[in-house]
Structure 1
Amino acid sequence: MTQNLTSLDLAEELPQLDAALDTIDRILKAFVSLDADQMRRLSKLGDKTESFCRQTAAILDQNRQALPPGFDLDELKRDFAAFDLLRPRLNRIEALAAKCADTQIALGSDILSASYDGYALLKVFGKADNVAPLRDSLRSGIRRKTITPGKASAT
């Protein structure tokens, strides 16, 4: 094989990973899921609006007597607290998910590279009868590396 970005034997770690994911799933049951339409319609809190909202909450807290009975400042403060606690955990989950995605891409690339190398070897060693179905399954326009004994090239 000309490429081997990663090698993993997940047999021992998978039960632990699955248990950890089950725990995370259980903990996140109270979290909401939004569809694309809901997501599009919602106002988004960005850096500038977050600063505005924090300043507004502080001023509202200083002027509680001016708030109407239906305005739940305590809920706003609880939302901010949960928001602040969730942010670093979400950043960590996103980083872990990106690492998993990168690893899956690397594994897929290793698989594809080794398959192309193996296909080229079958052709070189005269296993043409076995190669015909493989050749038919390759789509045109896919850049692949092939090897010949002693050197590698792109075709």
Structure 2
Amino acid sequence: MYTDRIDLTFVAEDLTAAAAGLTAAEGALILPSLNPVDRKHLPKIGMKNEALALQIIEVGRANPDLIPRGIDFAKIDRDIAARAQVNPLLIQSRRYTARLEDTRLLLGVDIYVVALAIYHSLKRNARSADLRASVEELTRGFARVRQTEPEPEIPNGTIIVP
């Protein structure tokens, strides 16, 4: 049975305003972009090691003659402040992204479920040869290609013990 999970219509002006808002947000801050390889290999900071890192920095700040030259605590403080400032924006953007993804998912579910309901009805009620042929063609769209693993080659004279 078909159930409509979401029913919405976007007004062009609202979509334009949303896109403009996102564009404005993207342009408001100059942010770096990492490629997937760099992102994977860079050391990460999380909840546990963030507290540890901040403690280490404070101990280093208290003992400047024991740390490597070139460490600039003013730059470190700017990084700490900027990270704290980015967090609320990240939370808000993730929440919005999740809602966009949920909306897109529900729209896709509605499209697919109604298509299946129509398909099953057509399949049950097809009377003419042309309609049955069309339904048969649609049925092929559901066929899955099975991937079978090739049998491993066994050299002659090899005995296989299970």
Which TM-score bucket, shorter chain as reference?
Answer: 0.7 to 0.9
Equivalent-residue separation in structure 2 for 1:119 and 1:107 (angstroms): 18
| CA deviation string 1:7-47 (max 9, x = no partner) | 1111242111111111122124x211111211122110012
5+ residue gaps, structure 1, are 142-155
Q: Secondary structure in 2 aligned to 1:13?
A: helix
Query: Given the superposition, is the C-alpha separation of residues 128 and 62 from structure 1 closer, same or farther in structure 2, using an over 3 Å criterion?
Result: farther
Residue 78 of structure 1 aligns to a residue whose secondary structure is: helix
Count of equivalent residues: 140
The one-letter code of the counterpart of 1:113 is: V
The structure where strand makes up a greater share of residues is 1
Q: CA deviation at 1:56?
A: 1.9
More displaced 10-residue stretch of structure 1: 64-73 or 106-115: 64-73
Q: Is the 8 A contact 2:4 2:110 kept in 1?
A: yes
Deviations 1:61-116 (A, max 9, x none): 33446656521111111001011111121122112111111111111010011111
Aligned counterparts of 2:38 and 2:6: Cα–Cα separation in 1: 39
Aligned AA for 2:28? I
Contact 2:122–2:135, Cα closer than 8 Å, also in 1: no
Give the number of the structure whose alpha-carbon radius of gyration is greater: 2
Please list every run of at least 4 consecutive aligned residues from structure 1 whose deviation after the TM superposition is greater than 6 angstroms. none
Counterpart of 1:149?
A: none
Partner residue, 1:77: 77
Query: Aligned-pair RMSD on alpha carbons?
Result: 2.3
